[in-house]
């Protein structure tokens, strides 16, 4: 394990995972907000919004994430000159967050929508019967119950998101997979140790995350 | 008790579910303070009639007016109308993720924008009245069916409605819990609440109704004061229906 006794290498390793952590955190928030909005659109009584939600899901769920992240870089940044920061790393980071968010939002939307289907029709009827608007019925009654029903599948989506964040390496951010490649290139004799340290780091963070979501799903479940 | 001033007026109401003609030219007027019990065999359209009054079920033709205003088609005006017409469902439909107290307080606070403290006081006194005050912090699933239905009535009352609609409120209850719900309904009727009650509880119809409306096959077949209706029904459909349920 000589590779990891070199402080420059450690720095590469730590920086790589810090990027993954930041990408995951920001894209989780982005995907959750967008996904809930999209789910709201898909069940709304307004055809234009329903169409928009459906189009979003069909587009981003069926496009490879690599292509979406490429598009953020070459399309939004290079062609359309969308500059999010003077610092190139920070700029690529935010482009990555956009790509990860719009992609993951499609999956979050569909999970929430399946959650909405678990909420009995009577819940929304009772809400409407006391005079709630569509938005109130959705945000106060239906979505809170739908969200609780899909905590576990949302957990899987966010775990996938954390791993998908490595794709932002393709547009030049030194996140963990790029860091691993760099270390392997410089230390050809230590491929396996390097690989297992990087893979193991993901596992150490993500396995407990999975259990945490499972525990949360049980705790938040709505008793009927 | 009746002041002979119509609060709910249905005129020539028609409703189709696909090819099924579930309400056929139904006309009915309910006065302020009147208690109208709607009875009839399953599939006669009585639940649909009840749900049409607050437009949970949009009608295909005819007109419904509430308190002198035609039923709004949608939007804020419809929400406002619904806030003035309480509804109690067969399956209770208490908000499963809210406590009993929150269930009762939610409407006044979110729909009417009332102050939380005042609403809490009113909600607790309503829960007191229906005998559930001790369970205020529990969740619906922790209560029996009869208790849940009494909370549902309190939730409807918290909006201080002009009328209450009951859609088979005791049909999903265990037999020993029917009485506690009917007791609450009877006391509301005595206090002059305008009520439209779809039910199979003939005892309640006799004791609390000002008028019994008999429906069959989507039509309003006959209506009369309960004593008169149960003693001498005029139509063959009603005679047949009553003979089947009253001989046991």
Residue A124 to chain B, least CA–CA distance (Å): 9
Q: With CA atoms as reference, report the closest residue to B8 among B196, B188, B184, B187.
A: B196
Work out the minimum CA distance from B83 to partner chain A, whole angstroms: 4
Q: Return the closest-CA partner of residue A53 out of A99, A124, A105, A98.
A: A105
Asked if pLDDT for residue B161 goes beyond 70, the answer is: yes
CB B78 within 8 A of CB B71: yes
Q: Does residue B247 register a pLDDT over 80?
A: no
Delimit the domains of chain A by residue range: 2-220
Q: What is the pLDDT of residues B141-152, one digit of tens each?
A: 999 999 999 999
Mean pLDDT across B147-170: 95
Residues 92-121, chain A, touching B (beta carbon < 8 A): 120
pLDDT tier for residue B4 given thresholds of 50, 70 and 90: low
Per-residue pLDDT tens, chain A, 224 aa: give them.
Answer: 578 888 999 999 999 999 999 999 999 999 999 999 999 999 999 999 999 999 999 999 999 999 999 999 999 988 998 888 889 999 999 999 999 999 999 999 999 999 999 999 999 999 999 999 999 999 999 999 999 999 999 999 999 999 999 999 999 999 999 999 999 999 989 999 999 999 999 999 999 999 999 999 999 998 88
Residue B74 confidence class, pLDDT cut points 50, 70, 90:
confident
Mutate to test the interface with A, among B96, B154, B156, B172 (most CBs of A within 10 A): B96
Q: How many CB pairs under 8 A join A and B?
A: 73
pLDDT at A1: 54
CA distances from B118 to A132, A224, B26, B162 (A): 20, 29, 41, 20
| pLDDT at B3 (0 to 100) | 52
Task: In whole angstroms, give the CA distance from residue A69 to residue A90.
Answer: 15
**Burial of residue B66, with CB atoms counted within 10 A of its CB: 0-12 exposed, 13-18 middle, 19 or more buried:** buried
User: Is the CB of residue A139 less than 8 Å away from at least one CB of chain B?
Assistant: no
B54 and A141: CB-CB below 8 Å? no
Pick from B56, B97, B142: CB nearest A129: B56
Across the interface, do B89 and A126 touch by the CB < 8 Å criterion? yes
Q: Say which CATH architecture domain A2-220 belongs to.
A: Orthogonal Bundle (1.10)
Question: Percentage of residues in chain B with pLDDT exceeding 90?
Answer: 86
Sequence-distant (≥ 6) Cβ neighbours of residue B233 within 8 angstroms: B214, B222, B224, B239, B242
Long-range CB pairs of A69-73 (<8 Å, 24+ gap) are: A69/A95, A69/A96, A69/A99, A69/A100, A69/A167, A69/A168, A69/A170, A69/A171, A70/A170, A70/A171, A71/A99, A72/A96, A72/A98, A72/A99, A72/A171, A73/A171, A73/A172
pLDDT digits (tens, 9 = 90+) for A121-132: 999 999 999 999
Q: Which pLDDT belongs to residue A3?
A: 85
Mean pLDDT for the stretch of residues B109-114: 94
Distance from CA of A115 to the nearest CA of B (A): 14
pLDDT value of residue B1: 47
Q: Is B5's pLDDT higher than 80?
A: no
> Inter-chain contact B111–A136, Cβ cutoff 8 Å?
yes
The residue in chain A having the minimum alpha-carbon distance to the alpha carbon of residue B152 is A126
Dihedral through CA A130, CA A135, CA A137, CA A141, nearest 10?
-140
């Amino acid at each position: 394990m000589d590779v990891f006794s070199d402080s420059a290498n450690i720095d590469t390793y730590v920086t790589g995972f810090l990027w993954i952590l930041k990408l995951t955190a920001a894209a989780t928030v982005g995907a959750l907000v967008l996904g809930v909005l999209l789910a709201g659109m898909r069940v709304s009584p307004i055809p234009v919004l329903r169409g928009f939600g459906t189009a979003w899901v069909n587009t981003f769920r069926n496009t490879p994430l690599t292509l979406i992240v490429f598009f953020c870089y070459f399309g939004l940044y290079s062609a359309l000159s969308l500059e999010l920061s003077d610092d190139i790393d920070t700029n690529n980071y935010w482009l990555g967050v956009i790509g990860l968010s719009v992609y993951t939002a499609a999956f979050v939307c569909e999970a929430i929508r399946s959650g909405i289907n678990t909420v009995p029709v009577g819940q929304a009827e009772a809400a409407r019967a006391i005079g709630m608007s569509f938005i109130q019925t959705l945000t106060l009654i239906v979505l809170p119950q739908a969200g609780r029903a899909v905590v576990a599948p949302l957990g899987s989506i966010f775990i996938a998101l954390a791993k998908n964040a490595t794709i932002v390496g393709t547009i030049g951010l030194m996140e963990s997979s790029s860091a691993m490649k760099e270390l392997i290139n410089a230390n050809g004799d230590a491929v396996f140790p390097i690989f297992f340290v990087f893979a193991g780091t993901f596992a150490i963070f993500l396995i407990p995350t999975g259990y945490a979501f499972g525990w949360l799903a049980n705790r938040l479940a709505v008793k009927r | 008790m009746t002041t002979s001033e119509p609060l709910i007026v249905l005129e020539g109401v028609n409703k189709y579910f696909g090819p099924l003609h579930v309400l056929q030219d139904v006309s009915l007027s309910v006065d302020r303070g009147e208690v109208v019990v709607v009875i009839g065999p399953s599939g006669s359209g009585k639940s649909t009639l009840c749900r049409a009054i607050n437009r949970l079920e949009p009608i295909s033709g005819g007109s419904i007016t509430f308190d002198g205003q035609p039923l709004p088609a949608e939007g804020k005006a419809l929400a406002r109308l619904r806030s003035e017409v309480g509804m109690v469902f067969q399956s209770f439909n208490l908000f499963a993720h809210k406590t009993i107290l929150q269930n009762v307080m939610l409407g006044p606070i979110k729909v009417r924008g009332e102050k939380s403290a005042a609403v809490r006081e009113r909600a607790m006194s309503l829960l007191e009245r229906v005998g559930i005050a001790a369970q205020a912090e529990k969740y619906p699933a922790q209560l029996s069916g009869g208790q849940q239905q009494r909370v549902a009535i309190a939730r409807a009352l918290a909006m201080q409605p002009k009328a209450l609609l009951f859609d088979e409120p005791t049909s999903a209850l265990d037999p020993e819990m029917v009485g506690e719900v009917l007791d609450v309904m009877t006391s509301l009727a005595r206090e002059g609440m305008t009520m439209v009650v779809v039910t199979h509880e003939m005892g309640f119809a006799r004791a609390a109704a000002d008028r019994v409306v008999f429906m069959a096959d989507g039509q309003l077949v006959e209506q009369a004061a309960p004593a008169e209706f149960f003693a001498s029904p005029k139509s063959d459909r009603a005679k047949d229906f009553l003979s089947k349920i009253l001989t046991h």
